[in-house]
Amino acid sequence: MSKVAIVTGAGRGIGRGIALKLAKELDYNIVVVDIDEESASSVAQEIKNVGKDAIAVKCDVSNNEDVERMVEKSFEFGEVDAVVNNAGITRDSLLLKMSEKDWDMVLNINLKALFLINKAVCSKWVSECKKIAEDLGEDRPAPSAYPKRKIVNISSIVAKGGNVGQANYVSSKAGVIGLTKTIAKEMSRYNVNCNAVQPGFIKTPMTDKMPEKIINKFIAAIPLQRMGLPEDIAGSVKFLCSPDSDYITGFSIEVDGGLDM
Ligand code: NAP
């Protein structure tokens, strides 16, 4: 039976690239999660066209009721083995001009959502592990007694050094790294690996709205002299979801063309 991966914000951009790669190259069926139902359905159809199964689930990842419903649907769809928390937004302005509303919105979607989703999914996994332990008649079996599970959280390279105009975004993405390391420590005993990816400057609808002058300035600072593509990020997510990374947890991969060496 195919494994299932949940990918959030998968209606476009990096999330779409991740969903397609996991389906095509790691044999996953995909739960395509997005706040925009139409784009989620369209990506689910693309996945079906390459011979894998997919469902589209409309979900605001910052809303706990939506998240619980989405996680229930995902476990009904199949055996969820991986979660990629990719949905994210920007609401940029300088600290002195930043509204409380924009601070809260970015922190809720980019960070609180990961707490909600990872908690809901891990709770299902732990219940299953407890049944396995009971069947084995052991209180605390070694992690290898349980199925291998993977969480990948999408952070950003700006979490390392800060970025002008992004106090809310940088704080949320730095929080993602802390959350990733903590989940890695808490969930290792259940054979769950939790890692992060820190993209640099990637060509997606999120960056398409930036002025060309700023885009060119960024590209000039990238040693590999180009913007990244969603596939560049999808490649490292694929690695972190594959057996090749089974002994890696609490780690973060920087995929930024050398921008922050
Ligand atoms: P994107 O093109 O804006 O795509 C983000 C997707 O997430 C969209 O489909 C969006 O839906 C969805 N989304 C937004 N809010 C949501 C919510 N509350 N619940 C569920 N889905 C929601 O962004 P991207 O560039 O692919 O970025 C993906 C991730 O990579 C984000 O976490 C971003 O912070 C991170 N990242 C991106 C870059 C970059 O250069 N692009 C760099 C570093 C990190 P709508 O279309 O309806 O808004």
Q: With a 6 A CB cut-off, is 15 part of the ligand 1 pocket? A: yes
Atom number in ligand 1 closest to CA 155: 44
Task: Show the tokens assigned to 92.
Answer: 């940029």
What is the CA 28 to chain-centroid distance, rounded? 15
- pLDDT at residue 220, as a whole number: 96
- pLDDT at residue 2, as a whole number: 78
Chain segment 105-161, per-residue pLDDT in tens: 999 999 999 999 999 999 999 999 999 999 999 999 999 999 999 999 999 999 999
Mutational pocket test of ligand 1: of 204, 253, 255, 256, the residue with most ligand atoms within 8 Å of the beta carbon: 204
Q: What is the mean pLDDT of the chain?
A: 97
Residue 261 pLDDT grade (very low, low, confident, very high; cuts 50, 70, 90) = confident
Q: With a 6 A CB cut-off, is 36 part of the ligand 1 pocket? A: yes
pTM, entire model: 0.98
Compute the distance between CA of residue 132 and CA of residue 127 in angstroms, rounded to an integer.
9
Chain segment 7-55, per-residue pLDDT in tens: 999 999 999 999 999 999 999 999 999 999 999 999 999 999 999 999 9
Task: Show the tokens assigned to 13.
Answer: 């951009």
Q: Ligand 1 centre from 94 Cα, in Å?
A: 21
- pLDDT at residue 155, as a whole number: 98
Total residues found in the chain within this entry: 261
Task: Give me the half-sphere count of Cα atoms (radius 13 Å) on the Cβ side of residue 105.
Answer: 10
Q: Ligand 1 centre from 139 Cα, in Å?
A: 41
Compute the distance between CA of residue 218 and CA of residue 223 in angstroms, rounded to an integer.
10
| Distances in whole angstroms, Cα of residue 8 to Cα of each of 50, 144, 151 | 20, 28, 12
- pLDDT at residue 140, as a whole number: 95
Q: Give the residue numbers marked as catalytic.
A: 169
Q: Which residues contact 114 (CB under 8 A, 6 or more apart)?
A: 85, 153, 176, 179
Atom number in ligand 1 closest to CA 201: 40
Residue 67: pLDDT above 90? yes
Q: Which CATH number fits the domain 3-255, given the four candidates 3.50.50.60, 3.40.50.720, 3.40.50.261, 3.60.21.10?
A: 3.40.50.720
DSSP letter assigned to residue 171: H
Residue 1: pLDDT above 80? no
Atom 47 in ligand 1: residue holding the nearest Cα: 36
Q: With a 6 A CB cut-off, is 219 part of the ligand 1 pocket? A: no
- pLDDT at residue 209, as a whole number: 87
Chain segment 153-177, per-residue pLDDT in tens: 999 999 999 999 999 999 999 999 9
Name the amino acid, one letter, at 237: V
Q: Ligand 1 centre from 37 Cα, in Å?
A: 14
Phi, psi of 106 (to 5 degrees): -65, -45
| Distances in whole angstroms, Cα of residue 83 to Cα of each of 121, 151, 163, 200 | 8, 5, 28, 21
Edge to edge, what strands does the sheet with 149-154 contain? 54-58, 29-34, 4-8, 80-85, 149-154, 192-199, 252-255
Atom number in ligand 1 closest to CA 40: 9
Average pLDDT value for residue range 55-69: 98
| Distances in whole angstroms, Cα of residue 105 to Cα of each of 43, 92, 183, 192, 209 | 25, 11, 23, 29, 19
Compute the distance between CA of residue 194 and CA of residue 29 in angstroms, rounded to an integer.
20
Atom number in ligand 1 closest to CA 16: 26
- pLDDT at residue 260, as a whole number: 82
Question: Could you tell me what percent of the chain has a pLDDT over 70?
Answer: 100
Residue 238 pLDDT grade (very low, low, confident, very high; cuts 50, 70, 90) = very high
* Domain locations along the chain: 3-255
How many other CB atoms are found less than 10 A from the CB of residue 256?
23
Question: Could you tell me what percent of the chain has a pLDDT over 90?
Answer: 97
